[in-house]
């Protein structure tokens, strides 16, 4: 007879097997870049004296950065070659010439030993100057060649203190070398001058600038940038959305850029065959001063105006970019020659220009469109988990509940028989 212990163990084992199958499908590691194709990321961290300031969620900027780095190191994809460089970490004196040479490679760009990297980060103490320009020049030399993507992620809480070596000119010089290096910048508790400088650095290499005031924002953004390095390199295609779906350009799977003016809406069309799934996401960036509260809305509607699905997000001015996305799995059709369905994508944002700020050109917009096999025809983990996977889990739970009831009745019957005898 099966005991309750064995029954519970069997159900747990089955659930574990199902969960493992959902989380780690066969062939998930196929196609990961290796060797010369491996993406490389160099995290450049400001460790200047101002990082002692305690204004990020009740802790110092340095403590917030260390916390973010530890979480990022845990989440870094195996295929990414990651390094860490510091600026202002070693020299605490007043000699400017010496302070402006204060940049060092804390952890070399290469295969990641998480424990070793975390130990190195734990030793950092806010110390000296802010030599951003020299640090960027040195970081550009940290990479090991190869054909994979290369990305510098600069985290700083202040302006460069080593002029006349302008870090923006340094970024332009790096871009002019044509080595395919992107610099993304994050400003901790930024001011206007720092925002302008870090934005200029990022724009020079096609990167992004983000202002950060909370520890979780820093962790999330650095994670996004590290993950982006592992994605295949895609060159955005410039497009121009229309004021209505009828006049909108038809887009295929790809990455697109556009500009959308304040109070404007942009429309695009996508053809979705039966049994395929449309995935779309949009990001709108504030490249000038805007009002502190804003949002973005992405809608998928039919050509007749009926809404299919929407994605929306809002913020209160903590970051300079806002993103949202949606998914539309089109069901299989019974008709042998069913036509593709035209889906209209509408992008609307609620950014408002600050007083005296020009409203043109529109804010930069980045739209990603992907038409893929639907849940039934692909090994898409997310789709399976949100569909048939949950039905299977529900069935297992129901079976366990029924088995428990039957076991309880059987146990009471056995006790009754024992007492009678």
Say if residue 207 is in the same domain as residue 86. Answer: yes
Higher pLDDT, 164 or 377: 164
Beta-strand relationship, 276-285 and 294-302: unpaired
* pLDDT score of 415 more than 80: no
What tens digit of pLDDT does each residue of 12-63 get? 433 333 333 433 333 333 344 445 689 999 999 999 999 999 999 999 999 9
CB 364 within 8 A of CB 287: yes
Q: What is the pLDDT of residue 374?
A: 65
81: which strand partners?
A: 40
For 253, residues 6+ apart whose C-beta sits below 8 A from its C-beta are 369, 370, 371, 372
CB 300 within 8 A of CB 344: yes
Q: What is the pLDDT of residue 29?
A: 37
Q: Which residue has the tokens 């979480």?
A: 71
- In this structure, what CATH number is given to the domain that contains residue 111? 3.40.50.410
Averaged pLDDT for residues 320-339: 76
In a domain, 2, yes or no: no
Peptide bond into 252 cis (omega under 30): no
* pLDDT score of 11 more than 70: no
Q: What is the pLDDT of residue 396?
A: 59
366: which strand partners?
A: 257, 283
In a domain, 148, yes or no: yes
Say if residue 58 is in the same domain as residue 163. Answer: yes
Q: What is the pLDDT of residue 390?
A: 46
Say if residue 161 is in the same domain as residue 288. Answer: no
CB 346 within 8 A of CB 239: no
What tens digit of pLDDT does each residue of 278-304 get? 989 998 888 778 888 888 999 999 999
Closest among 216, 217, 181 to 202, alpha carbons compared = 181
Say if residue 224 is in the same domain as residue 94. Answer: yes
Put simply, whether the predicted model's pTM sits higher than 0.85 gets the answer: no
In a domain, 128, yes or no: yes
Say if residue 68 is in the same domain as residue 191. Answer: yes
Distance CA 85, CA 68 (A): 15
In a domain, 297, yes or no: yes
Q: What is the pLDDT of residue 362?
A: 86
* pLDDT score of 89 more than 90: yes
CB 177 within 8 A of CB 74: no
* pLDDT score of 182 more than 60: yes
What are the structure tokens assigned to 229, written together? 């390095």
How many C-beta neighbours within 10 Å does residue 46 have? 28
CB 43 within 8 A of CB 194: no
Distance CA 351, CA 290 (A): 7
Distance CA 118, CA 84 (A): 10
What tens digit of pLDDT does each residue of 223-273 get? 989 988 887 666 688 999 999 999 999 999 988 999 999 888 999 999 999
Lowest average pLDDT, out of 3-17, 84-98, 115-129, goes to 3-17
In a domain, 383, yes or no: no
* pLDDT score of 116 more than 50: yes
Distance CA 375, CA 328 (A): 11
Distance CA 137, CA 155 (A): 15
Q: What is the pLDDT of residue 412?
A: 64
CB 121 within 8 A of CB 72: no
Say if residue 298 is in the same domain as residue 164. Answer: no
How many C-beta neighbours within 10 Å does residue 350 have? 16
* pLDDT score of 334 more than 80: no
In the chain, the percentage of residues whose pLDDT exceeds 90 is 47
How many domains does the chain contain in total?
2
Domain that holds residue 153: 37-230
114 falls in which pLDDT band (50, 70, 90)? very high
Say if residue 205 is in the same domain as residue 260. Answer: no
Q: Which residue has the tokens 């000119």?
A: 169
Average pLDDT in the chain: 81
- In this structure, what CATH number is given to the domain that contains residue 301? 2.60.120.380
Q: What is the pLDDT of residue 246?
A: 94
Q: What is the pLDDT of residue 14?
A: 36
What are the structure tokens assigned to 311, written together? 């994605």
In a domain, 301, yes or no: yes
Q: Which residue has the tokens 């400001």?
A: 46
* pLDDT score of 403 more than 80: no
In the chain, the percentage of residues whose pLDDT exceeds 70 is 77
What tens digit of pLDDT does each residue of 146-169 get? 888 899 999 999 999 998 889 999
Say if residue 195 is in the same domain as residue 114. Answer: yes
CB 389 within 8 A of CB 18: yes
Helix (H) or strand (E) holding 171: helix 167-176
For 19, residues 6+ apart whose C-beta sits below 8 A from its C-beta are none
Using alpha carbons only, give the angle 238, 243, 244 rounded to the nearest 5 degrees. 110
Say if residue 90 is in the same domain as residue 218. Answer: yes
Q: What is the pLDDT of residue 376?
A: 46
């Amino acid at each position: 007879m099966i005991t309750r212990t064995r029954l519970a163990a069997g159900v747990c084992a089955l659930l574990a097997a199902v969960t493992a199958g959902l989380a780690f499908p066969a062939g998930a590691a196929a196609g990961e870049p290796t060797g010369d194709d491996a993406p490389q990321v160099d995290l450049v961290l400001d460790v200047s004296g101002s990082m002692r300031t305690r204004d990020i969620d009740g802790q110092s900027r340095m403590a917030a950065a260390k916390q973010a780095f530890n979480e990022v190191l845990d989440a870094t994809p195996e295929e990414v070659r990651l390094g860490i460089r510091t600026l202002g970490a070693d020299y605490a004196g007043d000699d400017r010439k010496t302070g402006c040479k204060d940049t060092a490679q804390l952890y070399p760009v290469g295969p990641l030993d998480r424990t070793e990297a975390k130990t190195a980060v734990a030793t950092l103490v806010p110390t000296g100057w802010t030599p951003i320009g020299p640090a960027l020049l040195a970081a550009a030399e940290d990479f090991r060649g190869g054909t994979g993507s290369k990305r510098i992620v600069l985290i700083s809480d202040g302006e460069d203190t080593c002029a006349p070596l302008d870090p923006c000119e340094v970024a332009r010089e790096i871009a002019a070398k044509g080595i395919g290096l992107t610099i993304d910048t994050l400003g901790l508790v930024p001011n206007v001058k720092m925002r302008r400088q870090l934005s200029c650095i990022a724009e020079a290499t096609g990167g992004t600038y983000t202002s950060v005031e909370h520890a979780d924002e820093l962790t999330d953004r650095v994670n996004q940038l590290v993950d982006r390095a592992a994605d295949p390199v895609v060159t955005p295609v410039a497009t121009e959305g229309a004021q209505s779906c009828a006049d909108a350009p038809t887009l295929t799977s790809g990455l697109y850029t556009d500009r959308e003016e304040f109070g404007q809406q942009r429309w695009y069309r996508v053809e979705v065959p039966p049994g395929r799934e449309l995935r779309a996401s949009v990001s709108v960036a504030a490249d000038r001063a805007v009002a502190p509260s804003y949002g973005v809305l992405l809608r998928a509607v039919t050509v007749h105006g009926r809404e299919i699905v929407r994605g929306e997000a809002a913020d209160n001015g903590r970051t300079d970019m806002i993103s949202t996305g949606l998914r539309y799995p089109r069901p299989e059709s019974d008709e042998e020659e069913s036509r593709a369905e035209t889906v209209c994508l509408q992008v609307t944002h609620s950014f408002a220009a600050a007083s005296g700020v020009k409203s043109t050109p529109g804010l930069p917009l980045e739209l990603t469109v992907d038409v893929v096999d639907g849940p039934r025809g692909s090994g898409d983990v997310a789709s399976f988990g949100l569909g048939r996977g949950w039905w299977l889990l529900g069935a297992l739970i129901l079976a366990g509940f029924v088995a428990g009831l039957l076991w309880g009745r059987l146990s009471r019957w056995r006790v009754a028989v024992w007492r009678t005898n």
